[in-house]
Amino acid sequence: MFVTANLVRLDMRSSMLSWRRFAASIALGGCAFTDKLPYTPGEFIMTRFTFLFVIVSLIAAEPISSKDLSGSIEFKGYRRTFLIHLPPDHGASGSYPLVVVLHGGGGTARHMKRRFSGFDGFADRNGFIAVYPDGVERQWNDGRTIDASEAHRSNVDDVGFLSGLVNYVIRRYHGNVKRVYFTGISNGALMSYRLACEIPDTIAAIAAVTGNLPENLISAAPAVPVPVLILNGTEDPLVPWEGGPIRVPLSRGKDRGRVISAADTVRFWVRANGCTAAPVDEEVPDRDPGDGCRVVRHVYGGCTRGAEVILYEMKGGGHTWPGGPHYLPASIVGRTCRDVDATLIIGEFFKKHEKK
């Protein structure tokens, strides 16, 4: 199989740098998703990363003059776009943790960056690089075998794209290879689960918001443990707390796939991470009595390599980013819990974990 790259482009807010056009044909082995996991680590990583390794070697180093950048590449027949935010203290001599923020189905990188997640502020305060990629036609191929989107229908290689993007940012912007994190909401949460199953050697931790594990991934066996944080609402009208079919308004009856329950999702990761301690349950203070939510934190410890599993159970919460903007009417997505700030919780969780 051959992939041809026609253009690499990187735009800065203060100026635009257009990289020279080039054509490079790189032989890549096929890596279609199957239910048989994991892949042989060395074989998988080389297949996924080769394309962007070559791109990085062809791009000359340029001084960084802005905190916000946008870029695009041609990857396996699709133009893939992304945004990068660099912290104020970014420099050539540093080594910076990297958080990749994945939008939900129908969302965009720009929406996640500007109005939704608040990770630019977290990155600035804590010296992180924040990366916001775009899915093909606003969807991620999270492993569900459905025909409802181009990403799923055509089995788009999002694992390969995201793996390569991480490698590019590490090499180009001095990311810390031991501190790579993924988080996302909804479809982005499910994609984070898939990444932790397929490339756990790359990831220091993941955080999933309003997402349970797809049924297609229940036979997965991550090669190494990955710390997992989950924030789910018990009254999520789209991705049901109790599991079952994903429901999308105005989807005209299209099959959106099925997920297991929040409890079974936790059990999956507790088992995968070898956690043996009894869970510690703690009710979070009710900071906003008017939001219709109460939050209980469940912590599962005693895990291999310290790969803890934490569930924030949003009692009464919906399909929303806790503490974030209420982006659609409650009649469609349910309530937004305001007793906790998901971005702050996720950031603190990531800061605790480094790949071992």
Predicted confidence (pLDDT) per residue in 221-261, tens digit: 999 999 999 999 999 999 999 999 999 876 666 778 999 99
- Residue 17's pLDDT band (cuts 50, 70, 90): very low
Domain that holds residue 49: 2-352
C-alpha distance from residue 356 to each of 22, 182, 269, 346 (Å): 38, 16, 18, 19
Q: How far is CA 318 from the centre of its chain?
A: 20
Predicted confidence (pLDDT) per residue in 311-344, tens digit: 999 999 999 999 998 878 899 999 999 999 999 9
- Residue 19's pLDDT band (cuts 50, 70, 90): very low
pLDDT of residue 92: 81
Predicted confidence (pLDDT) per residue in 267-295, tens digit: 999 999 999 999 999 999 999 999 999 99
User: How confident is the model over 85-96, as a mean pLDDT?
Assistant: 91
Q: Which pTM was predicted?
A: 0.83
Over the chain, what is the mean pLDDT? 84
Give the number of domains in the chain. 1
pLDDT of residue 253: 65
pLDDT of residue 328: 85
Angle, helix 187-198 to helix 158-173, in steps of 10 degrees: 80
Instruction: Report whether 207 contacts 349 (CB < 8 A).
Output: yes
Assess whether pLDDT exceeds 50 at residue 61. no
* Alpha-carbon span 285 to 217, nearest angstrom: 34
Q: Which residues pair with 26 in a beta bridge?
A: 3
CA dihedral (278, 201, 75, 116) positive or negative:
positive
Of 13-17, 36-40, 123-127, 288-292, which gets the smallest average pLDDT? Answer: 36-40
* Alpha-carbon span 176 to 170, nearest angstrom: 6
Of 50-64, 237-251, 291-305, which gets the smallest average pLDDT? Answer: 50-64
pLDDT of residue 285: 97
| 3-state DSSP assignment of residue 162 | helix
Assess whether pLDDT exceeds 50 at residue 107. yes
User: How confident is the model over 40-62, as a mean pLDDT?
Assistant: 35
The percentage of residues in the chain with a pLDDT greater than 90, rounded to a whole number, is 72
CATH code assigned at 335: 3.40.50.1820
* Alpha-carbon span 248 to 3, nearest angstrom: 34
Q: Which residues pair with 131 in a beta bridge?
A: 84, 100
